[in-house]
């Protein structure tokens, strides 16, 4: 028996024969490679510094952020999430 196959433009066949995938297509950053994401983020960071709108961490702010992160991590560990 000769089965004829047909294709629909833009349709990507699911990995499992007979299964239909309703998974949404990736868009934006999700559709990019990690390298493309890094390049775009880097451009944004440079532009922010050029415009003077980039955040400059002081040592005190960095210290406070580290303490806050440690507390959150400890709380998750105690709650059993980690």
User: What element of type H or E holds 39?
Assistant: helix 34-51
pTM of the full structure: 0.41
DSSP 33: -
Using one digit for the tens of pLDDT, what is the confidence trace for 18-77? Answer: 556 677 888 888 898 999 999 999 999 899 989 988 888 899 999 999 999 999 999 999
The SS3 assignment for 22 reads: coil
Tell me the C-alpha to C-alpha distance, in Å, between residue 58 and each of 23, 63, 71.
44, 9, 20
User: What element of type H or E holds 31?
Assistant: none
pLDDT band for position 3 (cuts 50, 70, 90):
low
Tell me the C-alpha to C-alpha distance, in Å, between residue 69 and each of 11, 55, 76.
44, 18, 11
């Amino acid at each position: 028996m000769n089965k004829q196959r047909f294709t629909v433009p833009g349709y990507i066949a699911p990995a499992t024969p007979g299964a239909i995938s309703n998974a949404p297509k990736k868009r934006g950053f999700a559709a990019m490679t990690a390298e493309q994401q890094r390049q775009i983020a880097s451009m944004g960071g440079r532009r922010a510094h050029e415009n003077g709108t980039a955040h400059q961490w002081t040592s005190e702010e960095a210290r406070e952020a580290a303490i806050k992160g440690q507390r959150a991590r400890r709380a998750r560990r105690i709650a059993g999430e980690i």
